[in-house]
Structure 1
């Protein structure tokens, strides 16, 4: 095998997405804490948009990434979810129970730990959802690096758990992190959803129709006060599985998005959000309720919550262990769910709109907890969780 072929194989490996995110994170940290920091902030705050008559849609570059590009990521999650329910692992009701229970535990326990650490502080408590998220790309990349002794069923478990985890994040954002609601925008969004339903029932598979509807729905949801990421998930549910000729339509769209997600959207999201300013971080900031709550929620709460709820589901007979796996290996995967990174940074930005309110110690806590979860999970699975 030539050097080029080996490089191509590595790039298209599922673990490469996580590696690329690590590179972008390090790059963002270096740029933010160097002579380029002013240019970095100027780029993120660069106002962009368009005006049509009285309609205006202008946002800083950072929000175009966090409101716009990340909606495409959740659209892909929605496609994956629909595919699994219609054709894949979720087709049987029992197969849903384990990842669903694990995802619920991974939300309840970290949120409870954060709330306990910050009880009595109303402002800091707004960040209760920060440690409930898992970064799928990072966690999967670490799992893929752990060796062939890890059963492939655990990869499916992690992916299934991540899907429910991401849906949970969308619902949390939609319910708890919304601004003033607009009835007019809601009416427009409802009309678009009816159009999408009609297209689906008629079996129409013109991509341009769905693209136009998705664009109008995204703008209307954005203007409604609900976070725009919800639009991506809604559109995905109305994408037909097949064309009238029997050709895979949803799978084709899903496959066409993978390159953009791995090489553009998620790396750009990491670069825009991981630039933590380390200059003003002091011991007081590091030991603040937000920082401690985030670290304990991600590093301790996620692995304990995911494993405890999974264990109870299995022992009660409602679910079964992934094929070929044992509880030691399952716990190793649960450790990896503490890699919050991009999703936790995203929710952090929604919870605390003033990014430097804690001198960026909250962002640093996310990175440190994610790093610790990744290292511990890798070492545990690699050396202590063999069958």
Structure 2
């Protein structure tokens, strides 16, 4: 085939990938690989220097490195978008109907509890390893949906929606875990100030304030107060998002406007930058046996085994006991494949790993190894299973509104 047609065909495929669900997930794969290469290259010292050297004064913001600004400030945007998605789902989405939300809520709860139990069974409950129990508990939405996107029309849209809903629900659970389990000390005066700012945002909502800037200003003020309160600063993003009105007085969608304005920045800047700053781990002197050390093994097993056992087992039990039916039109093999994909825990797992072992770079790096290996195995295994048990679908085969 001549070079020009080949180039055109590849160009079309790239453009198609760029606008598909798969692109954000593929981008995270590229970011993770790039971080690993940077951390194990001749430029490794520069990589670590850029993110961990003290570039800023910590007197005002308590943040004196680029790594802290990314994790404690920029990631507020990520959590703000999560909060917007949660509110939209609760008000008008799949979580608004009690009958529809029963199954994904149960599945998400099991998908957090079982990985935590698997982790503790391997790593033990004693400090410091016991502090990492929540690392394998959350699913990375972009990464998991990206793998599903690579399968095209093979995965039923109702199952895509189920995966998205489960991931959103366990994001809620992860936020609660961060707020409760990883808050070592509380500074009451700053927490009260944060409550006051949140109350002000709610008052704006109740008063029908429909301009965007008061909520942006309030979110920044809330972040500053929470940053000094002892609660992790990114919780401010979720709380601020929940105060945003769904609609303006004229009926237009304020919440959706916020979401549409931020989702691209979140997917293509915030999360990739976070991933690049956090996924790099030096492998010098480590063999394959390092994956079998208690911490990485516990994290990897929690993601690969705990997630699929928890979610698939919950769906199977709920269906057989008459508590809630499985997603309509889906085989158990397809459900199993999607359950495996929930073991992709990249973004939130890396985030919790940093909180679980503060200042202990050795344990943080071991957790990263478990996260990267567990997420990779879950992605490859889930993709392979779904590729084998599904087929291409037409609109007539798949009548459910894909929403995605």
Equivalent residues in 2 for 1:48-197, closer than 5 Å: 48-49=55-56, 55-119=60-124, 121-197=126-202
- Displacement, 1:39? 0.7
Q: Structure 1 residues 120, 110: CA separation in 2 closer, same or farther (over 3 Å shift)?
A: closer
Query: How many residues of Structure 1 are paired with residues of Structure 2 in the alignment?
Result: 385
Q: Does 1:18 align with 2:25?
A: yes
Which of 231, 250, 257 pairs up with 2:262?
Answer: 257
Displacement, 1:219? 1.2
Using the TM superposition, give the Cα deviation of residue 118 of structure 1 relative to its aligned residue in structure 2, in angstroms: 2.2
Secondary structure of the equivalent of 1:226? Answer: coil
Change (3 A) 1:206 1:359: closer
Using the TM superposition, give the Cα deviation of residue 250 of structure 1 relative to its aligned residue in structure 2, in angstroms. 0.6
Once the 2 structures are TM-superposed, how far is the Cα of residue 283 of structure 1 from its aligned partner? 5.8
Residue 46 of structure 1 corresponds to 53
Work out whether residues 23 and 146 of structure 2, in 8 Å CA contact, stay in contact via their aligned partners in 1: yes
Of 278, 282, 301, the residue aligned with 2:283 is 278
Classify 1:353/1:227 alpha carbon distance in 2 versus 1 (closer, same or farther; 3 Å): same
Once the two structures are TM-superposed, the CA of residue 73 in structure 1 deviates from its matched residue by 1.1
Query: How far did residue 323 of structure 1 move?
Result: 2.8
TM-score by length of 1: 0.94
Q: Aligned-residue CA RMSD in angstroms?
A: 2.0
Report Cα offsets for 1:32-90 as digits up to 9, x if no partner: 10111111111111335568xx7454331111111122221111111111111211222
1:27 match: 34
Deviation at 1:183, TM superposition (A): 0.5
In the alignment, the residues of structure 2 paired with residue 342 and residue 56 of structure 1 have an alpha-carbon distance, to the nearest angstrom, of 24
Note the alpha carbon deviations across 1:328-383, whole angstroms, 9 max, x for none.
11111000011111211111111112353248333112111111110010010011
Identify which of 210, 217, 228 aligns with 2:233. Answer: 228
**Partner Cα separation in structure 2 for residue 284 and residue 320 of structure 1:** 42
* TM-score normalised to structure 2 length: 0.90
Q: More displaced, 111-120 or 270-279?
A: 111-120
Unaligned runs of 5+ in 2: 394-404
Distance 1:6 1:292, change over 3 A: closer
Q: CA deviation at 1:121?
A: 3.2
Maintained 8 Å contact 2:345/2:375:
yes
Query: 1:251/1:186 Cα in 2 relative to 1: closer, same or farther (>3 Å)?
Result: same
Match of 1:89, SS state, is coil
1:91 deviates by 1.9
Counterparts of 1:374 and 1:180 in 2: how far apart (Å)? 37
Q: In structure 2, how many angstroms separate the alpha carbons of the residues matched to 1:267 and 1:113?
A: 29
- Give the match for residue 323 of structure 2: 318
Say whether the 8 Å CA contact 1:285–1:358 is kept in structure 2. Answer: no
1:187-242 deviation digits (Å, cap 9, x = unpaired) = 11011011111110111122111111101111111111111121111111111111
Q: What is the distance in 1 between the residues matched to 2:175 and 2:74?
A: 15
Cα separation, 1, equivalents of 2:53 and 2:15? 35
How much has 1:311 moved relative to structure 2? 1.8
